Amino acid sequence: MTSSGKAVVTLPADTQVLITREFDAPKHLVYRAWTTPELIKRWWSGDRGEVTLAEVDLRVGGRWRYVMTANGGFEVAFHGEYREVVPNERLVSTEVFEGAPEAEAVNTLTLTEKDGRTTLSILVEHSDQKYRDLHIDSGMEDGMQESMDHLEQVVLTLR
């Protein structure tokens, strides 16, 4: 297996999104890159823009906030609160997209290391399926009302 790969996204339940990916680095480094503001700024926006603010108060009850200027020029911001902090292992936090503040998700980051490589998983749990769908939509205009737990596999067998 090579060091980089695709993120794998599945929908384990109507209100959930699960994102997983393996990294060629030990978990304490993944954790550091995940929680250190100057490092977050370098990866969090992906190819979609620039992170202009990354605030992290890494303790239970502490808050975080990220602001990104997207390539289109507009700003998007996210914030939340840390609920559980187990360094290098597990991080549970809430997440609100400030453009849709009624939808608060709970994210559970889990890091597991094997032979110096780390599997990262993020389980995103929304309070309602419609918010989960909006989350997946990320900019697409209408949501959908269904879950697809096994569909991914079905589709893969069909290609």
> Which residues contribute to the site for other proteins (CB under 8 A)?
3-4, 6-9, 11, 17, 19, 21, 23-25, 29-30, 32-33, 39, 42-48, 135-138, 140-142, 144-155, 157-158
Around 37, how many Cα atoms within 13 Å sit in the side-chain half-sphere? Answer: 13
Cβ distance to other proteins smaller for residue 8 or 86: 8
Minimum distance between the CB of residue 84 and other proteins, rounded to whole angstroms?
A: 21
CB of 100 vs other proteins, minimal distance in Å:
16
With respect to other proteins, which residue has the nearer C-beta, 39 or 96?
39
Whole-Å CA distances, 120 to 29, 82, 89, 110:
12, 18, 10, 6
One-letter identity of residue 46? G
Sheet with 117-125, strands from edge to edge, namely 8-10, 16-23, 117-125, 104-114, 90-97, 75-86, 63-70, 49-56
Q: Which amino acid is at 156?
A: L
Nearer to other proteins, 21 or 83 (CB): 21
DSSP for 57-91?
--STT-EEEEEEEETTS-EEEEEEEEEEEETTTEE
Closest separation between CB of residue 60 and other proteins, Å? Answer: 19
Cβ nearer to other proteins, comparing 50 with 98:
50
Q: Please, what is the minimum distance in Å from the beta carbon of residue 74 to other proteins? A: 16
